[in-house]
Amino acid sequence: MAVTLVNPAGLPEIDVYHQVAVAEGTKLVFVAGQVAWGADGKTIGEGDLAAQVERSYLNVGTALAGAGGSFDDVAKLTFYVAGWTPDKMPALLDGIARATAKLDTKASPPATLIGVAALDVPEHLVEIEATAVL
């Protein structure tokens, strides 16, 4: 594993992610923003943020595996959520929990959540991109 996750003294510990990722690998992997598409290109979980987060997260896992990595190699995640309001946090966290259980990972890399007006198509509620180091 080329990524070590830490919470430096003086910064708050956040339950769902670490503040810093220290990467020491030799290959960078940049995963394009993943949405809730199945392999057939159809949206999964239309209108259900938790289901879309889960599917998008699983798609990131598939992309990482295609590059020879896993969530243990992720140095940074970015979440783009359409029409973000803080009351959506439980659904976001539920989707992440369901996906990490399916992926059998406890990885919690640094993450940024950005609320956006809209994504590529109206039915997409979330897009997740990743940077990994192998």
Domain CATH code at residue 74: 3.30.1330.40
Q: What pLDDT score does 1 carry?
A: 61
Which pTM value belongs to this model? 0.90
Q: Read off the pLDDT of residues 32-46 as tens digits, 9 standing for 90 and up.
A: 999 999 999 999 999
| pLDDT at residue 26 is higher than 90 | no
| Residue 101: domain span | 3-133
Q: What pLDDT score does 50 carry?
A: 98
Rounded to the nearest 5 percent, the helix, strand and coil shares of the chain are: 30, 30, 40
| pLDDT at residue 14 is higher than 90 | no
| pLDDT at residue 28 is higher than 90 | yes
| pLDDT at residue 87 is higher than 80 | yes
* 123 touches 52 (CB < 8 A): no
Q: What pLDDT score does 131 carry?
A: 96
Q: Positive or negative, the Cα torsion across 6, 12, 13, 18?
A: negative
Number of domains making up the chain: 1
